[in-house]
Amino acid sequence: MKNDNKNQNSLLAAEAAYCSYGDTVHYIDPPKLFVHSQGSFVYDDRDRPYLDLQMWYSAVNFGYGNERLNNALKRQLDTLPQLASQYLHREKVELATALCRYMENKHRVKGRVHFNVGGSQAVEDSLKLVRNFCHGKSLMLAFEGGYHGRTLGATSITSSYRYRRRYGHFGERALFVPFPYCFRCPYKLSRESCDMFCIQQLERLFETEYYGLWDPKAHEAEYAAFYVECIQGTGGYVIPPDGYFPALKRILDQHNILMVDDEIQMGFYRTGKYWGLENFGVTPDVLVFGKAMTNGLNPLSGLWAKEAMITPDVFPCGSTHSTFASNPLGTAVALETVRMLEEIDYETRVNDSGRYFLEGLRELKSRYAIIGDVDGLGLALRAEICAEDGFTPDKAMMDRIVDEAMKGDMEVDGRQYGLVLDIGGYYKNVITFAPSLDISRNEIDLAFRLLDQVLHRVTKK
C-alpha cells in the first residue's frame, strides 16, 4: 500500500508539472486516479469499485469492457487497423449505409453520412455544410444553456461566454434564445398554464423586420440554421415539454432556417430512442453524432444530412477533411454497435430502467429538501441541488456531494464503494445521470443506497 501511495503521489506530481490543464477539469483535489474498469464500475489502485453514473459523459453507453465491442476492435486491429482516408474500406461504407438506411426506414428521408473524429469536429463540419448550402450565410441560432464543443466554430454556437472570453472577438457568435427550462422558466411562468409562451416569443421575432431576424419582403432570414440539443447535456439534462420541438420545426421551416440536431450526447438510445429528437416526433435537416458510437474505444463522430445538402454536386470532395476521419478501428467498432442495436431491444430496456431510476430519484427527493427537481427521459436523468427552499441553486452543496461521493468510503453489504457523479446545469448545481444502458436493477438499487449515504452525510446537522 505504501508503494502504491508513493507511485500515485509521483504520478500526481508529474501531472501537476507536465500536463496541460487546458483539457482537464479538476473537480476534486487531489485528482482521482483509476487503474481499470468493467461494466458499470471503475476501480482505484486499491481495487475499490466506484459505481459510474455518468459513463464518460455518455460515451460508454454499453458498459466498460463490453466484450462484443472490444472484440470488434481487436479483430480490426489484426486485419486493417490503419488506412489513409482517401481510400475506402468496407467498414466505413457499411456503417454509413446502415445509418442512412435507418433514417430512410424510420424518417422516410434520404441522406448521406460524413465522418470525423470528435464531437466538436463534427459540429465544425456541419457548420461548413450549412454555410455552403445557405450560400455563405454565417449566422446561427442556438439555445441558452446549449453546448456544442470548444473548437472555435463550435464555441461560437455554445452559449457560455466563459469558453470564448480569452480568444478574442467572435463576430459570428450565435443568437441565443431561451430553452424551455420549465423548472427555471426565464419568463417566470408555469408549465401547466404558460401555453408554450417561450415558443410564442420566438415566433414573434419573425413578425416584422424590426425584430432583426427576418426580411418579410425578401422572405429571407439572416440566420442559416438553429442548432439544438433535444435534451440539454452540459446545461443539466433539461427536458423540454411535449409539443415544443414540433412547433419550433414548423417556425424554422416557414422561414427557411435549417434545424441541426446535436445528438452527440443523447444519440444511440440514451433517451430510450435511437436519436433523442425522435421522442418529440421531429426529423432534423442535419444530425450530428459521436461519443457512444464506439463506446469510447476509438474517436469517431459524424453527421447525417439530407441529400440535397450533401450530394457530391453541392458538397464536393475536399469540402472538409480530417486525417483520421472514418478510421478503420472506429468504423469497425461503430458498425458492430449499430448491428448490436438492431439485435437488442434497447428501447424497451432503457425505458424500463429509466422509469425505475426516476422513481428512485423521486423517492430521494421526497426525503431530501435540497433536491429541488428531478426529471428524466430514458436513462438521461437529472437531480437539481438547491437550498432548502427547494429552488435557489446551491453549487457549494453540489461540490460537497461530488467530493463526498468520490471518497470511496461508503459501505454497502460489507464492501466499500465510491460513486462517480457528473456536474451540469446553468448554475453547476445539477447531478446529470447517464448510467450504462445495460445497468442492472441491482446496480440501480446500489446507486440509491450510495446516493442516500452521500445526501445524509452532506445534510446532517
How far apart are the C-alpha atoms of 269 and 273, rounded to whole Å?
5
Q: What pLDDT is attached to residue 461?
A: 63
Q: What is the mean pLDDT of residues 401-423?
A: 97
Please state the rounded mean pLDDT for residues 109-136.
97
**What sign has the CA pseudo-torsion 201, 204, 209, 210?**
negative
Residue 181 has pLDDT above 90, yes or no: yes
* pLDDT more than 90, % of the chain: 94
Would the pLDDT of 106 be above 80?
Answer: yes
- How, if at all, do strands 140-143 and 175-177 pair? parallel
pTM score above 0.85: yes
- Mean pLDDT to the nearest integer, 137-151: 97
Confidence (pLDDT) at 292: 98
**Residue 3, pLDDT score:** 57
Distances (CA, A) of 416 to 62, 113, 360, 407: 24, 46, 22, 10
* Cβ contact 244:212 at 8 Å: no
Q: What is the mean pLDDT of residues 241-252?
A: 97
* Rounded CA separation 8/33 (Å): 8
Q: What is the mean pLDDT of residues 205-209?
A: 96
For residue range 78-89, what is the model confidence (pLDDT) as tens digits?
A: 999 999 988 999
pLDDT, average across residues 109-115 = 98
Q: If you average pLDDT over residues 103-118, what whole number do you get?
A: 97
Which range, of 24-33, 74-83, 223-232, 450-459, averages the lowest pLDDT? 24-33
Amino acid at 363: E
Q: Using CA atoms in the order 265, 271, 275, 281, what is the torsion angle rounded to 10 degrees? A: -130
The letter for the amino acid at 411 is E
Average pLDDT over residues 338-350: 98
CA 339 to centroid of chain Cα atoms: 22
Instruction: State mean pLDDT over 145-171.
Output: 96
Mean pLDDT of 207-226: 96
HEC profile of 132-167: HHCCCCCCEEEECCCCCCCCHHHHHCCCCHHHCHHH
Check residue 22 and give its pLDDT.
86
* SS3 annotation, 397-415: HHHHHHHHHCCCCEEECCE
Q: What sign results for the dihedral spanned by CA atoms 15, 16, 22, 26?
A: positive
Interval 43-85: pLDDT, tens: 999 999 999 999 999 999 999 999 999 999 999 999 999 999 8
Rounded Cα distance, 259 and 103, in Å = 16
Question: pLDDT at residue 2 above 70?
Answer: no
* DSSP letter for each residue of 168-231: ---TTPPEEE----GGG-TT---TTTS-SHHHHHHHHTTS-GGGSSEETTTTEES--EEEE-SS
Instruction: Indicate whether 270 pLDDT > 90.
Output: yes
Residue 306 has pLDDT above 80, yes or no: yes
Output the CA torsion 399→402→403→407 (10° steps): 170
Q: What is the mean pLDDT of residues 273-302?
A: 97
Considering only 15-24, 170-179, 275-284, 417-426, which range has the smallest mean pLDDT?
Answer: 15-24
Per-residue pLDDT band for 1 (boundaries 50, 70, 90) equals very low
Return the residue matching grid coordinates 470532395: 317
Q: Averaged over 423-447, what is the pLDDT?
A: 98
